Amino acid sequence: MLHHLWKYTYNTSKALPLEQLTRWGLHNATVVRNASTPELYEIAAMDPLSPDPETRQGSISSTGAMVAYSGRRTGRSPKDKRIVIDEHTEQEIWWGDVNIPIPKKSHNLLEQIALQFLNTRPRLFVVDGYAGWDPHSRLRIRVFCTRAYHALFMQNMLIKPTNEELKRDFSDDVDFHIFNAGPMSAPKLVEGVGSETCVSVNLTDKKMVILGTQYAGEMKKGVFGVTHYMLPKQGILTLHSSANEGVNGDVTLLFGLSGTGKTTLSADPKRKLIGDDEHGWSDYGIFNIEGGCYAKCVDLTYEKEPEIFNAVKFGAVLENVEFLNKNSREVDYHNISITENTRVSYPLDFIPGAKNPAVGSHPKNILFLTCDAYGVLPPVSLLTPEQAMYHFISGYTAKVAGTEMGVKEPVATFSACFGEAFLPLHPTLYATMLAAKMNEHGTKCWLINTGWSGGKYGIGKRMSLKNTRSIIDAIHSGELAKGEFDNFEVFNLQIPKKATGVPDQILHPKNTWTNKSEFDRTLRNLGEKFKKNFQKYQSKASQDVINAGPKI
């Protein structure tokens, strides 16, 4: 038996003060706090008490990454997320399908179930870390979990404190606690619980309980949701975006839903990566909220995404992948037999040229990426602050869905602020903050269509990556902002007349369509979809923002 090698006594330098455990009713005899990466590998791979037969914990890939499995849940469970409704949150939270209320007494019961489970495990992992690289506003997060994979994942995703910071900032209480008892199911008879999975957040008491899911992304996005609630109270705008920085220190934010090319376009060899997913915008500038990246790795190849491919090494966590060869442990990135949502988590410094610390100046440009499969939006257009608010609240892209008899049609998808699932407050609050910061710092906002040109999906062609990169280069150089513009009908957007390296005729999408009347009809139909979607936000939007939408 090897588990005694990691048993802590409470007089060690890394030990959590006993009162920090007993205050929660935790009395697990074996506490592993802020373990090193090799320690976590050893626990996961060698300890006979650690592997779970269902989740096959403990493999190591041929490139040195920890390979872990999350069991039945291989993605987030947004329908099972709950927020405690109390005298503080009742009037603050944007209640509805995104934020579902749960009574405080139910949360307290779930918390007790989670704590009892944590006490029965062979060991309890404790991970301390910061959310946010800005020392003026970063949140101190403490995670309790029972799997080495979860501990390493959160050590990657949070910002790791120095030994001095641990003593100074984590010896007493912290800003938020996560109790991850994912292997234990939630009791469905508890009021407010809808299934065996429940992610319950108490924003007033600053605690989150996870039951019935071992998917690590619940912790990452749980922290993100907490920052979306806590940081705006400090005047800090939280953003579901990537960010990079040019050689002159100019910062660009990139927003976009899945399939828009955000990951690919953020990884610009001419610019430094600040972060790939979650950021804050404070009075000091932009900062990454995370200490690492959580990238999709389905169909991952060195040729397509060399930086991510090379990041799959010792210290990274591969989630729900299969092996090409179980003897060599070579990963089969094309195998989706477990899930299409295969992932890899790794520290930010695994990416060459990533900024450390991950902070930047106030952004010069903001890019809203959309994959318009209807083929009617321009490759690039300049937005006014009011239009920026409208399109930020809309968060549009279009996906291609299969229909009967092989017919495929675009399906419009809207996600407020390009991350609706993580917003505890009304989207107009974040949009108002965005417009205010844009006006204060002279930030320009651009709508970039990476989707179709010359017709909708099935008729036209996908925008070439070369042209999109040339457009973004022209934004960064200042060329487009200084150029002349044409007005784009219905959406009332400003289209540049020229962009170096891009054919003039594609800049206005109507020029690329053979059937002009069909273009007009399709454009109007898309405008109607925007207007219908925006109706649910209009009650809290100003008339100027409502007027910034399409005119049919």
Which residues are marked as active site? Answer: 76, 221, 240, 258, 262-263, 277, 343
Nearest to 424 by CA among 98, 111, 9, 90: 98
Q: In the numeric block, which tokens belong to residue 38?
A: 């090799």
Give kind and range of the element (H or E) at residue 308. Answer: helix 306-311
| Backbone phi, psi, residue 365, to 5° | -135, 145
- 278: Cα within 13 Å, side-chain hemisphere: 26
CA dist 377 and 371 (Å) reads: 9
Q: What is the dihedral of CA 426, 392, 436, 239, to 10 degrees?
A: 70
Q: Annotate 233-262 with DSSP letters as a single string.
A: GGT-EEEE-EEEE-TTS-EEEEEE-TTSSH
Residue type, 117: F
Residue positions counted in the chain: 552
Instruction: Report the DSSP pairing between strands 124-131 and 31-33.
Output: parallel
Residue 402: CB partners within 8 Å, gap ≥ 6?
Answer: 408
Give kind and range of the element (H or E) at residue 128. Answer: strand 124-131
* Tokens 């269902």, residue located: 54
Residue type, 272: K
- The shares of helix, strand and coil residues in the chain, as percent rounded to the nearest 5, are 30, 25, 45
Separate counts of helices (H) and strands (E) for the chain = 14, 31
Helices of type H across 418-507: 427-441, 465-477, 479-482
Helix axes 385-394, 427-441, angle to 10 degrees: 150
